[in-house]
């Protein structure tokens, strides 16, 4: 069958090989073919174990393997179903993804992990780049190159993608189901917040130290609109202590299924601050936080029905706040609407304490909160 592949274009490349879009002339169908030169393979048996694992864990949320073997030029290959929509990483492009979308894709990956773990296999490389998007927009777990069968105790040797590796992996301890749960939690954190919420620490040693200390990712730093219910679920999945995480992928998925998101916010920078647009209570909502004089901020909330003009929502608007106060005020409005489907503002404030300031903002744009982290 190897001779029947016509390579069309390269889809991606990694440390050990490449993935190509190939035409299977025997069956007249496109395939995604992973090609690895013999020089990059320490053991052919270990290489084909990836194909064997994938074939043994057939599941709707796992990429289907069709064939494996050796090409005429000597390269080893694994032929899989071709999914033209690419990966979740391709879909997100480092930006925040709608919470409902991110949660659905994570639940799909967790369903796949449930099946993998049932068969005594650890994936050890959960990340957005290894979750592909199916034809029905479902998530499909892929790339089992680091997957391995567990020992009798349910553990395996430590492996993983550094930026999503659990603290115990960084310290050289054994991998377990909880390390896959941790990586899935970090994946969801990154999808919800975007990569610019992850600080650039420079060296691999700096990342390893921060991960080991439970300081990366920052469990307190989320987009303002992310509700507490979702934060709690993600943070438990990412707990530095594996015994305090969800004990299984199923437990993580069930907890995520209890989180209700009734408003997905789209965040965008403006010349003077930040704007959020969402749909809630049959209305289109807009919340803006803008810089004012003397380093203060104004928060305004507006709503409209389709075809109508924007109307100010007084209880969601306040001027002349300090930056920290303004962020808290905006967060209460955004997160309440996200979780409960209704507007909410902060505690009542007497008119005498609200100092109206000029709405004219400083032309200086807000500083970015971080740099996008490169992927391996």
Backbone phi, then psi, for 217, in 5-degree steps?
Answer: -65, 165
**This prediction's pTM:** 0.86
Residue 361 CA, distance from chain mean position: 34
**Residue of 274 and 366 predicted with greater confidence:** 274
Per-residue pLDDT at 62 exceeds 70: yes
Q: What is the dihedral of CA 122, 126, 129, 133, to 10 degrees?
A: 80
Q: What is the mean pLDDT of residues 209-235?
A: 96
Per-residue pLDDT at 360 exceeds 60: no
Query: What positions carry a catalytic annotation?
Result: 125
Residue 182 exposure: Cα atoms within 13 Å on the Cβ side: 32
pLDDT in the model for residue 221: 95
pLDDT digits 0-9 by tens, 88-118? 999 999 999 999 999 999 999 999 999 999 9
Q: Which of 47-51, 244-248, 320-324 has the lowest mean pLDDT?
A: 47-51
Q: What is the mean pLDDT of residues 3-32?
A: 87
CB 175 within 8 A of CB 169: yes
Backbone phi, then psi, for 229, in 5-degree steps?
Answer: -60, -40
pLDDT in the model for residue 357: 40
Per-residue pLDDT at 148 exceeds 50: yes
Confidence class for position 344, pLDDT limits 50, 70, 90: low
Mean of per-residue pLDDT scores for the chain: 87
What Rg value do the Cα atoms of the chain yield, rounded?
Answer: 24
pLDDT in the model for residue 366: 40
pLDDT digits 0-9 by tens, 113-144? 999 999 999 999 999 999 999 999 999 999 88
Tell me which H or E stretch contains 369.
none
Q: What is the mean pLDDT of residues 211-229?
A: 95
Q: Which of 165-174, 175-184, 366-375 has the lowest mean pLDDT?
A: 366-375
Helix 228-237 to helix 249-257 angle (10° resolution) is 180
CB 77 within 8 A of CB 70: yes
Confidence class for position 319, pLDDT limits 50, 70, 90: very high
124 sits in the region (left: phi over 0; alpha: psi -120 to 50; else beta) called left
pLDDT in the model for residue 368: 37
Q: Kindly state the tokens that stand for 270.
A: 């403006």
Per-residue pLDDT at 57 exceeds 90: no
Residue 36 CA, distance from chain mean position: 28
CATH number of 88-257: 1.10.510.10
Q: Which of 259-263, 310-314, 359-363 has the lowest mean pLDDT?
A: 359-363
Confidence class for position 373, pLDDT limits 50, 70, 90: very low
Q: What is the mean pLDDT of residues 209-234?
A: 96
Task: Provide the percentage of residues in the chain whose pLDDT is more than 90.
Answer: 66
Ordered by start, the domain boundaries in the chain are 2-81, 88-257, 266-353
pLDDT in the model for residue 247: 95
CATH number of 2-81: 3.30.200.20
Per-residue pLDDT at 299 exceeds 60: yes
Tell me which H or E stretch contains 79.
strand 76-81
**Residue of 190 and 5 predicted with greater confidence:** 190
Q: Kindly state the tokens that stand for 1.
A: 């069958």
Q: Do domains 2-81 and 88-257 have the same CATH topology?
A: no
**Cα distances (Å, whole numbers) of residue 236 to 212, 255, 282, 363, 364:** 16, 10, 33, 40, 38
Confidence class for position 354, pLDDT limits 50, 70, 90: very low
Confidence class for position 3, pLDDT limits 50, 70, 90: low
Per-residue pLDDT at 375 exceeds 80: no
DSSP assigned state of 39: G
């Amino acid at each position: 069958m190897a001779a029947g592949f016509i390579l069309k274009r390269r889809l991606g490349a990694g440390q050990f090989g490449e993935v190509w879009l190939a035409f299977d002339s025997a069956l007249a169908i496109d395939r995604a073919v992973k090609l690895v030169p013999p020089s990059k393979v320490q053991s052919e048996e270990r290489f084909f174990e990836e194909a064997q694992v994938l074939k043994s864990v057939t599941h709707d949320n796992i990429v289907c393997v069709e064939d494996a073997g050796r090409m005429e030029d000597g390269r080893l290959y694994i032929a899989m179903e071709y999914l033209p929509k690419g990966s979740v990483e391709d879909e997100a492009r480092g930006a925040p993804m709608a919470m409902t979308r991110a949660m659905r894709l994570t639940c799909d990956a967790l369903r796949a992990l449930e099946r993998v773990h049932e068969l005594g296999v650890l994936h050890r490389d959960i990340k957005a780049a290894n979750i592909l998007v199916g034809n029905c927009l479902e998530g499909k777990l892929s790339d089992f190159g680091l997957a391995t069968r567990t020992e009798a105790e349910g553990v395996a040797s430590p492996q993983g993608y550094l930026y999503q590796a659990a603290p115990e992996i960084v310290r050289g301890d054994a991998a377990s189901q909880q390390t896959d749960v941790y990586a899935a939690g970090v994946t969801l954190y990154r999808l919800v917040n975007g990569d610019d919420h992850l600080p650039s620490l420079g060296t691999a040693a700096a990342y390893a130290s921060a991960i080991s200390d439970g300081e990366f990712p920052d469990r307190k730093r989320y987009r303002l609109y992310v509700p507490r219910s979702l934060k709690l679920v993600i943070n438990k999945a990412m707990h530095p202590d594996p015994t305090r995480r969800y004990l299984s992928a199923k437990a993580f998925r069930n907890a995520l299924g209890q989180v209700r998101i009734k408003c997905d916010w789209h965040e965008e920078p403006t010349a003077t601050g930040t704007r959020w647009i969402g749909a809630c209570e049959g209305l289109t909502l807009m919340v803006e936080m803008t810089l004012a004089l003397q380093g203060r901020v104004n928060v305004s909330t507006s709503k409209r029905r389709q075809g109508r003009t924007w109307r100010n929502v007084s209880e969601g608007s306040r001027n002349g706040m300090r930056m920290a106060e303004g962020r808290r005020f905006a967060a209460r409005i955004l997160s309440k609407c996200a979780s409960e489907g209704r507007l909410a503002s902060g505690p009542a404030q007497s008119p005498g304490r609200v100092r109206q300031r000029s709405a004219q903002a400083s032309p200086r744009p807000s500083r970015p909160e971080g740099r996008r982290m490169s992927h391996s």
